[in-house]
Amino acid sequence: MNQFEEQAEIIRQEQLSPEIFRLTLKAPEIASHALPGQFVMVRTTPCYDPLLRRPLSIHQTIGNQQVQLLYKVVGKGTRLLAAMTSGHHLNLTGPLGRGFAFKNQPAICLIGGGMGIAPLYFLAREILRVTTPPKCVVLLGGRTAAELGPLPRDFKDIGVTEIHIATDDGSLGHHGFVAELLPQHLDSGQWTVCTCGPHPMMKAVVGQCRQQGWQCQVSLETMMACGISACLGCAIPRADLSGPYLHVCKDGPVFKAEEVAWL
Amino acid sequence: MNQPDLRVSIGTLVFKNPVLTASGTFGYAKEFAPYVNLHHLGGVVVKGISLEPRRGNPPPRIVETAGGMLNAIGLENVGLDCFIAEKMPYLRGIGTRVIVNILGDSLEEYQALGQRLSEVEGISALEVNISCPNVKKGGVAFGTDPAMAEAVTRAVCAQTTLPVIVKLSPNVTDIAQIARAVEAGGAQAVSLINTLLGMAIDVRSRRPRLANIVGGLSGPAIKPIALRMVWQVAQAVKIPVIGIGGISTTEDALEFLLAGATAIEVGTANFVNPRASQEIIEGLGRYVTENRLSGISEVIGGLILD
């Protein structure tokens, strides 16, 4: 198993908007093994309060040395993370879980909402590095233009030519939800859709994909204590609501949309 | 320099050190192979096994609390047949003692588990989880009634050739009374404590944070309670006591040994620091060396009361 525990030095902590931060860490083992869609468990303090590690998806790796994380301050753990500066060390375990599957899709669409954008950037970069799909569309949603910050630009810089934005307040792009962009920007071809974001957004995306017969992969988030399938805390029901539960940390976090229940 | 002597004995079993990993926090050991030298451990207590596979509770199953966590996993496990066929081959090769935690809803289930596992190579002992409800006796947990605790212990001991450790629930008025009952039932050791029943509410939605409404509290928050109970039980019984409850550091482990525990189990700390058990073993070694002790067993029950 290619999993590692690393005492990672913080190279850079950038505040992208009032609540959103981008953290660059030196973690060579994790960086050289990570795949798009995988995550790390971050220990936010060497003490035991808050107790549990925080699962964060990998925003990108830089060379085979650095790991970048994108996160929003939502509670005590992420507030502690945001207070750390370069030179500090953080304990990481990873890379964990099953990432996105991508190979030679003729048309691929990535749909991210809020912090769900984090793993999609890594995915877009890898897709464009290993193949040149004839069509690659990125749809990004956020509450405000400020929340999205430099992210649309980042996708453009790695060669994504078609990016569309939706914001809840209309401050950038479409005034509304990002899932509403699908019908107008995706033609009736055979698309592969990869999505990560709030549950209602993904549910709306999955519904449209099902109607169109498009393949759809979703990256899910749950409460999680260990990240290595020991605690079994991250159970989610299967699509048919029977049989053993799936576990987000090991069976996911990326699933085929049809594997899981959309309640 | 001589290696510090960390060996401890529980009944007829000698452990290379007193640090085990607690059931439900270490999977089937393989999950921790990237992080821990498994053969350094005193032993591994695997995730609780029932006769049939169990699906467990619906999510959400866990919630973080101050210095701890609540869980209501609901004893999800692969079941006995799958455990023997798919998990035991790996466990036989990890180079340390394997203790199998068992659970059931009737005396017959516990007996069947004890009998079947006696025939499986590579198991050092059974740890009997008596916190489950006895469905045939109206759902009262085996672990909260001294007579039922004794009966289930006696039933398992009669069916197995393996040493039997009984894991006690702290959700009782007098844990020493339960400990004496399982000692009378033939247990070779007791381990304690299992989780403390707790609850958390989301004030915005006004709903419980766990789908099961209540769950078991674990982690550093429960350590003082666990330590007190271990101390009480160690005085009440003659069989060895294994201390469990919030142990995260070497100092925590030493506290339990001083209170009378012969060995300890590291639980929730494994989630936070997957190397916790190994670091505690290293720390105990340093403690023995620095204090010029003949071995760690000198520490057991060494609490001084003036």
In this structure, the number of other CB atoms found within 10 A of the CB of residue B204 comes to 6
> Taking CB atoms and an 8 Å limit, are B270 and A230 in contact across chains?
yes
pTM: 0.95
Is there a catalytic annotation at residue B132?
yes
Give the CA angle between residues B72, A243, B48 to the nearest 5°. 45
Supply the CATH classification number for the domain B8-298.
3.20.20.70
Structure confidence by residue, pLDDT tens digits, B90-126: 999 999 999 999 999 999 999 999 999 999 999 999 9
* pLDDT at site B273: 97
Buried/exposed B169-196: b ≥16 CB within 10 Å, e otherwise: bbbbeebbebbbbbbebbbbbbbbbbbb
Tell me which chain B residues have a C-beta less than 8 angstroms from the C-beta of A76: none
Q: Where are the alpha helices (DSSP H) in chain B?
A: 80-82, 88-91, 107-118, 146-159, 175-184, 223-236, 250-258, 269-272, 276-290
- CA–CA min distance B267, chain A (Å): 10
Distance between CA A40 and CA A119 in Å, rounded? Answer: 11
- Distance (Å) from the alpha carbon of A78 to chain B's nearest alpha carbon: 14
For the sheet with B62-65, list strands across it.
B62-65, B68-71, B214-218, B196-199
Q: What percent of chain A has pLDDT over 90?
A: 86
User: Which domains, and CATH codes, for chain A?
Assistant: 4-96 (2.40.30.10), 107-219 (3.40.50.80), 220-263 (2.10.240.10)
CB–CB contact B55 A245 (8 Å): yes
**Is A115 in a helix, a strand, or coil?**
helix
Pairing of strands A192-196, A107-113: parallel
Backbone angles phi, psi at A120, to 5 degrees: -70, -25
Q: Which residues contact B229 (CB under 8 A, 6 or more apart)?
A: B168, B170, B175, B192, B193, B245
- Strand A107-113 and strand A89-96: pairing? unpaired
Residue A28 has pLDDT above 70, yes or no: yes
**What integer is the mean pLDDT of A112-116?**
96
Residues in Cβ contact with A176 at an 8 Å cutoff, skipping those fewer than 6 apart: A166, A168, A170
Of all helices (H) and strands (E), which one includes residue A192? strand A192-196
Phi/psi zone of residue B135: left (φ > 0), alpha (ψ -120 to 50 degrees), beta? alpha
In chain A, residues with a C-beta closer than 8 Å to the C-beta of B55 are: 243-245
- Residue A20 token pair: 């959103």
Amino acid at residue number B6: L
Hey, where are the domains in chain B?
8-298
How high is the pLDDT of residue A103? 83
Query: With an 8 Å Cβ cutoff, are A1 and B248 in contact?
Result: no
What are the φ and ψ backbone dihedral angles of A182, each rounded to 5 degrees? Answer: -55, -55
Torsion sign, CA atoms B285, B291, B292, B293: negative
The pLDDT, as a whole number, for residue A186 is 85
Upstream peptide bond of B62 is cis (omega within 30 degrees of 0):
no
The mean pLDDT value for A123-150 works out to 90
The Cα–Cα gap between A194 and A133 comes to 14
- Are B178 and B206 within 8 A, CB to CB? no
Q: What is the pLDDT, as a whole number, of residue B2? A: 72
Residue located via tokens 């992969």: A217
SS3 (DSSP) at A8: strand
**What's residue A154's pLDDT?**
95
Kindly determine whether residue A50 and residue B53, on different chains, have CB atoms separated by under 8 Å.
no
pLDDT at A119 over 80: yes
- Residue numbers in B near A93 (CB within 8 A): 35, 274
> Which chain A residue is nearest to residue B27, measuring alpha carbons?
A230
Dihedral angle, C-alpha A15, A139, A123, A70, nearest 10 °: 20
User: Would you list which residues of chain B are within 8 Å, Cβ to Cβ, of chain A?
Assistant: 24-27, 31-35, 47, 53, 55-56, 58-69, 71, 73, 76, 219-220, 248, 268, 270-275
- What does the block give as tokens for B44? 């591994």
Q: Can you give the pLDDT at residue A135?
A: 87
Q: How far apart are CA A78 and CA A72, in angstroms?
A: 7
Chosen for mutation from B272, B275, B277 (greatest number of chain A CBs closer than 10 Å) is B272
Residues of B in contact with A244 (CB under 8 A): 53, 55, 76
Complex ipTM, two decimals? 0.94
Q: B34 contacts in A (CB within 8 Å)? A: 1-5
Q: Rounded to the nearest 5°, which phi and psi values hold at B275? A: -95, 10
Most confident option among A9-23, A175-189, B136-150 = A9-23
Residues of chain B with pLDDT under 50: none
